[in-house]
Amino acid sequence: MFGYYLDLAIRSLRRNRVLTALMVVAIAAGIGASMTTLTVMHLLSGDPVPTRSNTLFYPQVDPDTSLTEHGEPADVMDYHSAVDLWRSHRADRETLVATAGAKLRAIDVRQPSLMIRVLATTADFFPMFDVPFQYGGGWQAADDESRARVAVISAQLNDKLFGGANSVGRSVRVRGSEVRIVGVLRPWRPSPQFYEVAGGRFSSGNTAGYYARPEDVMLPFFTGVEVAGDTFDVFNCWRVPDNFMHLPESPCSWVAMWVQLGSPAKVSGYARFLAGYAVQQKRLGRFTHADNTRLRGLMQWLDYNRVVPSDVRLQAWLAFAFLAVCLFNTIGLLLAKFLRRSGEIGVRRALGASRRAVFAQCLVEAGLIGLLGGMGGWLLTLLGLWLVRRQPAAYADLVHLDPLMFLTTFALAIAASLLAGLLPAFRASRVAPGLQLKTL
């Protein structure tokens, strides 16, 4: 019967080409607008480390409550707390993260100096976050404590300085300090750049910076502290520092920490350890209180910081509101179309067709309109995403239509058209055959 209903639907759509075109355009416009914003939302709110995210956690401690929000601890740690927790080795893996700006120059390469972003981190950063390498690899754990002058550089910087060749063993100068390259990353773009997320909820939704490219140079943490000096990004300070030039001794939060914990028991154990550490630091006089620690999972941390830019959320709501308007228009057009065929439907009913059969026939026709609208919506979505990529937003180059969103485009179009067709199909199936036959 489906084939028969489909044949009837095709004949009906051909008889009313203008009305059919209006409905297809209405569905396509709504689907194109909504799928463009939904695709952007999907890409910006996805899991940045799908192979590891359920084992990654973000610990927080609170040395002082004066700058906290609603009793929450500071988003990042002071130097001593972060280093103490890192050196405790209570997790399967742990890494420190801090960012700074610096001037870089390649040795024996005729290139002007570049202003770059530097990431000071530890050896576990690379296996924890599944970072891919094109040449070489990360440094060893011993290089962290020994303050080795080594570095990992991005694929983009390697292309710019060395033409994409294997640069392992070559050297660059970062703020005048020579460091040897031990690894070159493959093109790597976590979305969002989760390991630096902090304070997003304070920025009125202006979190587009979390979708920028990763840093061009990565240094062992203590090496980075020595090389970058006072250029690190400071999150906040709970007292005015005596000397901003020596951040490790300042009452400021500027170091983030991530830990990897492979089981629920380890998560519970680390949470207890974190609380115990806070109690110990209060006894030593470093913390003002000891009952304000947190251990959030990766996705919990991203949700807490509202990493999806607020303008993207607003655009998504507006696009779906536009889709709703398009659906209401489609309902009206379908209702007019089906009721104009009351005579035909009356004949079918008189010849023995049930109300269910008429209802099914009308829904097949609505679904076919949705399929055609989905094709148009797919093309409009591709156009919309192309326009997004032309925007100056940091996340613009990440936007593309993946297979899931491609299938969602057609599923949403067909579902929307079937929804729009329910009322018209119901009205058409209730046509009284006797009254219609009298008018023929």
d(CA 223, CA 147): 5
Give the pLDDT confidence score for residue 67 in this predicted structure.
52
pLDDT at 4 > cutoff 80: no
In degrees, to the nearest 5, what angle opens at C-alpha 379 toward C-alphas 374 and 385? Answer: 115
Asked if 274 and 61 count as a contact pair (C-beta separation under 8 A), the reply is: yes
pLDDT on residue 318: 81
Confidence bin at 253 (pLDDT 50/70/90): confident
420 vs 264, which has greater pLDDT?
Answer: 264
For residues 217 and 41, the answer to whether their CB atoms sit within 8 Å is no
Q: Among 88, 89, 85, 93, which Cα is nearest to 59's?
A: 85
Mean pLDDT, to the nearest integer, of 113-128?
A: 93
Nearest CA to 228 out of 201, 246, 206 is that of: 246
280-312 confidence digits (pLDDT tens)? 988 888 887 777 889 999 988 888 888 776 667
Which tokens sit at 303? 């949700």
Instruction: Check pLDDT > 60 for residue 205.
Output: no
Q: Which of 86, 9, 60 has its CA nearest to residue 300?
A: 60
Q: Which residue has the higher pLDDT, 396 or 277?
A: 277
Q: Is the peptide bond before 241 cis (omega within 30 degrees of 0)?
A: no
**Nearest of 215, 212, 216 to residue 398 by alpha carbon:** 212
CA distance 373 to 22: 10
Residue 402 pLDDT: 81
How many other C-beta atoms can be found within 10 angstroms of the C-beta atom of residue 309?
24
Beta bridge pairs of residue 114: 104
- Residues near 263 by beta carbon (within 8 Å), at least 6 away in sequence: none
Q: What percentage of residues in the chain have a pLDDT greater than 70?
A: 87
Question: Is the pLDDT reported for residue 439 higher than 60?
Answer: no
What are the tens digits of pLDDT across the range 58-98? 999 988 755 555 678 888 898 999 999 999 999 999 999 99
Strand runs labelled E in 50-176: 56-60, 93-106, 114-121, 133-136, 150-153, 171-174
pLDDT (mean) for 120-142: 94
Nearest to 119 by CA among 133, 143, 99, 103: 99
